[in-house]
């Protein structure tokens, strides 16, 4: 990390990015709460587990995907398990680990969250920019990802 000072355009874009992302998260979390649903992080985990299918995922695989710290994943999984949304299975070839698999309730919860979450995305992004603009935005944001991060 060099010690140069940033271009004014960079500062402006940074400020907008920080402010807008927080605003959108806040509004979405609020909508979920108002609907009596759990927070976004739960959706992220359920989404990844649903994608992973019956084979499930190891917690350490989840860590990369959901961008949470190890201890946060550990505790989040414990909460989801307590709610019956996923199950932890021992993994045969590694006694340290476990495999986490989504349950039918978990899939149902994911679906219920998506009704509100998806609507929030539609209202907060889809209604504000055209498809072309959304693609431009996604492309520009993609260039800000760490080169080490694929996808």
Partner DNA sequence: TCCTTATCGATGCAATTGCATCTATATGAA
Partner DNA sequence: TTCATATAGATGCAATTGCATCGATAAGGA
**Nearest distance from C-beta of residue 107 to DNA, angstroms:** 21
The binding track of 6-45 with respect to a copy of itself, each residue x by CB under 8 A or -, is xx-xxxxxx-xxxxxxxxxxxx---x--------------
Size of the site for a copy of itself (CB under 8 A): 55
Site for DNA in 99-128 (CB under 7 A): none
Q: Which of 69, 131, 144, 148 binds DNA (CB under 7 A)?
A: 69
Q: Contacts with a copy of itself in 49-108 (CB under 8 A)?
A: 67
The answer to whether 46 and 80 are in contact (CB under 8 A) is yes
**What is the total count of residues that contact DNA (CB under 7 A)?**
22
Nearest-CA neighbor of 24 among 133, 117, 111, 143? 117
State which of residues 44, 98, 101, 114 lies at the interface with DNA (CB under 7 A): 98
Instruction: Record the tokens describing residue 127, joined without a space.
Output: 């209604």
Of DNA, a copy of itself, none, which one does residue 84 interact with (CB within 5 to 8 Å by kind)? none
């Amino acid at each position: 990390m060099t010690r140069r000072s940033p271009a004014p355009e960079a500062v402006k874009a940074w400020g907008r990015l920080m402010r807008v992302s927080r605003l959108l998260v806040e509004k979405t979390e609020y909508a979920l709460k108002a609907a009596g649903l759990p927070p976004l992080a739960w959706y992220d985990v359920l989404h990844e587990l649903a994608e992973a299918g019956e084979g499930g995922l190891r917690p350490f695989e989840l860590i990369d995907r959901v961008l949470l710290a190890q201890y946060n994943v550990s505790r989040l999984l414990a909460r989801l398990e307590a709610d019956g949304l996923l199950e932890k299975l021992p993994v045969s070839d590694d006694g340290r680990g476990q495999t986490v698999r989504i349950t039918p309730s978990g899939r149902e919860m994911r679906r219920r969250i998506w009704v509100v979450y998806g609507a929030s995305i539609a209202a907060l992004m889809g209604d504000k920019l055209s498809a072309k603009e959304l693609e431009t935005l996604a492309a520009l944001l993609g260039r800000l990802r760490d080169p080490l991060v694929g996808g």
